[in-house]
Amino acid sequence: MEVQGLKIKRLKQGIVSSVLLSLLIGSSGNALAEEPDLEAEAAILVEAESGKIVYEDHIDVILPPASMTKIMTEFLVHEAVDQGEISWEDEVKISDKVRQLSLDTSLSNVPLRQDETYTVKELYEAMAIYSANGATIALAEHVAGSEAKFVERMNAKAEELGMENYKFVNSSGLNNQSMKGNHPSGTEADEENMMSARATAILTYHLLKNYPEVLDTASIREKTFKEGTEDYIEMQNWNWMLPGSVFAYEGVDGLKTGFTDLAGNAFTGTVERDGLRYISVVMRTESREARFQETAKLFDYGFDQFSQETVIKEGEQVEGHQTVSVIKGKEDEVSVTAGSDLQVLVEEGQEENLTPVVTINKELLTEEGELEAPLEKGETIGTIRVEGMTEEDYLHEKMTSNAEVPLVLEEDVEKAGWFALSLRGIGSFFGNMWENAATFVRGLF
């Protein structure tokens, strides 16, 4: 099968990322905590703020995501609202295709009629809470004019977000066969969406970054669709880890389950405790229950063994890099500090192995490695990061910048006047002459 955006990388099977191996073991030689033994074909756990990978197993294997596809549909609906293409109160026209599919009780659905009024918000809630497939396609048609055009947006957005190992063929995550000939044009009758665990986590990372309000709906455990009408449906959230659910886990507030015969059971979850948020993906577990049980193992591992630690605080200096030399200024050096707090995820007991590393922007330096006045307080001249961090430790190479903070000037440095600069030039000239003469004399003896 030809897969759009497919750039298969070296598979990493159940190992902690190289950053944790090089950074967290450190000089103490302490062993890392034992990783959870998961029963899933692919799984990943990511710290949601930075995109740093905490656990990975077959994360680049491309698999069917089933209804986790709807995470992309949610993204594009939010984006369309944000850009003014549509509004939450828009009335959505129900096509013949959507009407027919929405009546299929073998699929997750709410019944949709063509003589009833539905808003974007109502259909979005049905999609996000109840995974309603007909409602999802209705939204796709409303946003893009047709599901086929919406699928084009899905694939384009995936590329834009830096996802790899994916292919979208419909907006809902169904196998096209379930659509009984009404699958999007340009796709095959038996095709199904495909996405790796890494790609799914990248998508979720960006959704939470751009539209965190998605969790306001994803965290609703139950709601009545079209309450007060003959078509009302009591929607129960398929996410059984939400508070009050059978597999409730403290802090879980999203995100999306998935199931088809080909995909098996899958779940993309997110959880937050004391300011630390994780994103998880498990794919192809043996049962509905197992996808939550395996996710709980990942969350336990993340919260029990790791914590956010501050490497350097805003305004603090890195030892050995407190100042930078300056030319043509009233002062010949300037103090530099961290422009903001640098925090990283670290395994318990390994906090002392965190070493800050300073990198100065070479484009700002002279050939002699100096800054040239005038300089302004707060100006960024480089970065501070933690030793050992590499792009392999993150969902995407561009996310390595999330693990660094700016190195800034602590004070202004005014440019010296022409007279002072002239005196320095004269002093330098005679200083060089004296040094050359002394060298010559030493050479005679």
Q: What amino acid positions are annotated as catalytic residues?
A: 67, 70, 131
> Which parts of 114-208 are beta strand (E)?
166-167, 194-196
Per-residue DSSP letter, 184: P
Compute the radius of gyration of the chain from its Cα atoms: 28
Residues near 52 by Cβ (< 8 Å), separated by ≥ 6?
17, 19, 46, 344, 345, 393, 394, 399, 402, 403
CA angle 219, 223, 224 (to 5 degrees): 160
The structure tokens listed for 403 are 């693990």
Cβ neighbours, 10 Å, residue 51: 23
Q: How many angstroms separate the Cα of 336 from the Cα of each of 35, 122, 135, 323, 376?
A: 40, 53, 55, 6, 12
CA-nearest of 356, 336, 358, 320 to 409 is 336
Amino acid occupying residue 190: D
Amino acid occupying residue 137: I
Cβ distance 386 to 23 under 8 Å?
Answer: yes
Per DSSP bridges, beta strands 62-63 and 252-260 are: unpaired
CA-nearest of 291, 293, 278 to 67 is 291
The structure tokens listed for 286 are 């043996």
Helices then strands (H, E): number in the chain?
Answer: 10, 18
Q: What is the Cα–Cα distance from 241 to 271, expressed in whole angstroms? A: 10
Secondary structure of residue 67 in the 3-state scheme: helix
Query: For the chain, percent helix, then strand, then coil, each to nearest 5?
Result: 35, 25, 40
- Which residue matches tokens 């007279």? 419
